Amino acid sequence: MITNTVPFANEIALQQSLRPALTPVGSNVDYHRSKRELEEMDRLLTASGVESMAVELALEGKEGLSAKRTEKLARFAIQSIRTETLRWYLGGVSFRALSKAICSCDLYARFCGVIDLEGIGGVSKSSLERSSKLFEASDLDRLLAALSKKSFASESSPALGLEEPLDASIVLMDGTCLEANLHYPVDWILLKDCARTLLKAVELIRKLGLRNRMPTPPERFASDMNKLCVAYANTRRRKDGKKSRKKLLRKILKLLDVAAAHARAHAKLLAANLEKVDSSERQSQRIIDRIESNLEMLPRLKKQARTRIIGERQVSASEKILSIHDLDICVATKGKAGKPSEFGNHLLLAETPEGYIVDSKLHRGQAPGEPKQLPESIRRIESLGVKLAAVVTDRGFSSSSVSRNLREGIYDATAPRQVEELRKRLQDNRFRSLQKRRGGTEARIATLKNRWMGGRLKAKGFDNRERALKGSILAHNLWVLARTIRDQERRRKAA
């Protein structure tokens, strides 16, 4: 079929390609449900202005580009926002799995706009990985704000297909830990990880033909480190276990110092011969940066291990290293059954009664207490043009300052910490019904983390995790709008 050109605010008009009809599918309820949802999300991306705004963000600061290059970047921006939406709709699958899914399903290919009469193209795993990093988390925040304003305003919501705007006057908040993808942070394992990273980098440099004198190959150093770590792990049940652990830790630290010295020498050798090696300057610099970052972190790792294992003293949470690959991780102690401690970043979420996520904040490092996060979240929500009528939270947000900071006209439905006070407040029908609905917010958080993000995020680094969070929320909110429009149509037909 032939469609019209798609205009954007920056006066770019993109002609859509001819697309073949979808493969007919018989009686398959799951396929047809997914088809309806994706078609509605497809329409919402255009009708809400999210797609055109994504093009504007991609072209921001690039006014000097040629017309051909501008059009190519605009198409890439549209493809990026759509492939990322599909990735999170499918549960945060890997780029390889997403590439295979798009190429094997013309429904997905049509949603992403990568199919024409000649076939499907432009969705290799490398292309999908690059497109996932086109927009920063701040850009996705702007897209989310634009979608929210259209959904909440009575003037613009009919353009989305909503018979009435979403009700954001009541918000339900809760906090959680967005777990990072790391093993349990044990000091001697962190030292082993550091040694392994340095020795792997040395191996790469030696494969390029640059060799500094070493008594044994890097593989032998790694083998010796593994033997020490196995011996350390086997001291747990021994009578003299504490003394043996301290003795083995000193050997681990000594071997790590030798590995670090070899890595430093090889990094200098590579830096002096960048033009002579058979690798790009960017690849070589990446190896050097990897070595330097681990060498910079090494004194802190050694001090932490000595303090905790040899000195038997605690290390403050602000100084603790939990992963050598990600320094922006903190410990969240929620006291959950089977999981007393979680390692990641604190996440604050606020949703409407319909399940639309209206606000989110991922904290880098140690987060302030939840009562201190509440006023800032309310300001962000009200900046969307929302007039709040009630704020509903659990006992973690309970504080005398919360009630004082809520402006007049906002009903405080925060659950009190004191049991007697909670019993009294539960006599109020409005408070009881709001708290009953708040129980569903726990399920919303679990759905976002497990259904949309696919469990523990694989993204490394705070910036990548925050980008993944915002992308999954955008896909989730588009799905909620599509479901709300479908429910409104059902009610209208039933009336």
Helix (H) or strand (E) holding 460: none
Please report whether residue 320 resides in a domain: no
Residues 75 and 117 in one domain: yes
CA distance 474 to 113: 18
Does the pLDDT at position 233 exceed 70? yes
Q: What are the backbone angles phi and psi of residue 166, rounded to the nearest 5°?
A: -65, 145
Helical spans, DSSP H, in 306-399: 370-382
Q: Which residues contact 413 (CB under 8 A, 6 or more apart)?
A: 390, 391, 392, 393, 430, 431, 434, 435, 438
Identify the pLDDT of residue 409: 79
Longest distance between any two alpha carbons in the chain, whole Å: 84
Residues 177 and 255 in one domain: no
CA distance 414 to 394: 6
Identify the pLDDT of residue 247: 93
Please report whether residue 154 resides in a domain: no
Residues 71 and 26 in one domain: yes
Residue 436 belongs to domain with CATH number: 3.30.420
Q: What are the backbone angles phi and psi of residue 186, rounded to the nearest 5°?
A: -105, 135
Please report whether residue 198 resides in a domain: yes
Helical spans, DSSP H, in 153-186: 157-160
Residues 98 and 19 in one domain: yes
Bridge partners of 392, per DSSP, are 172, 413
Among candidates 282, 253, 285, which has minimal Cα distance to 267?
Answer: 285
Cα→Cα distances 477→41, 144, 293, 365, 472, Å? 10, 9, 38, 27, 9
CA distance 410 to 239: 62
CA distance 41 to 85: 9
Q: Is the dihedral of CA 93, 95, 96, 102 positive or negative?
A: positive
Identify the pLDDT of residue 228: 93
Q: Which residues contact 253 (CB under 8 A, 6 or more apart)?
A: 191, 302, 305, 306
Residues 194 and 178 in one domain: no
pLDDT in tens, 84-111: 999 999 999 999 999 999 999 999 999 9
Please report whether residue 140 resides in a domain: no
Residues 17 and 125 in one domain: yes
Tell me what the pLDDT averaged over the chain comes to: 89
Q: What are the strands, taking DSSP E only, across 83-130?
A: 115-116, 119-120
Among candidates 75, 79, 95, which has minimal Cα distance to 87?
Answer: 95
Identify the pLDDT of residue 12: 61
Among candidates 17, 44, 24, 37, which has minimal Cα distance to 106?
Answer: 24
Residues 120 and 54 in one domain: yes
Please report whether residue 430 resides in a domain: yes
Q: Is the dihedral of CA 399, 470, 172, 157 positive or negative?
A: positive
Residues 222 and 303 in one domain: yes
Reduced to 3 states (helix: H, G, I; strand: E, B; else coil), residue 281 is helix
The 8-class DSSP code of residue 362 comes to E
Reduced to 3 states (helix: H, G, I; strand: E, B; else coil), residue 345 is strand
CA distance 104 to 401: 55
Please report whether residue 273 resides in a domain: yes
pLDDT in tens, 27-68: 899 999 999 999 999 999 999 999 999 999 999 888 888 888
Identify the pLDDT of residue 272: 92
The upper half-sphere exposure of residue 342, i.e. CA atoms within 13 Å in the direction of its Cβ, equals: 17
Residue pair 222/195 in contact (Cβ under 8 Å)? The answer is yes
Among candidates 159, 81, 97, which has minimal Cα distance to 475?
Answer: 81
Among candidates 91, 115, 95, which has minimal Cα distance to 103?
Answer: 115
CA distance 479 to 442: 19
Please report whether residue 50 resides in a domain: yes
State which residues form the domain around 287.
Answer: 187-310
Residues 450 and 426 in one domain: yes
Please report whether residue 486 resides in a domain: no
What six digits make up the tokens of 363?
């904290």
Identify the pLDDT of residue 105: 92
Which of 9-23, 317-331, 438-452 is predicted least confidently? Answer: 9-23
Identify the pLDDT of residue 1: 33
For residues 151-162, average pLDDT: 91
For residues 233-259, average pLDDT: 91
CA distance 439 to 166: 20
How many structural domains are present in the chain? 3
Residue type, 453: M
Residues 110 and 58 in one domain: yes
Q: What are the strands, taking DSSP E only, across 64-151?
A: 115-116, 119-120
**What number of other Cβ atoms are within 10 A of residue 428's Cβ?**
13
CA distance 371 to 403: 10
Residues 298 and 247 in one domain: yes
Residues 338 and 416 in one domain: yes
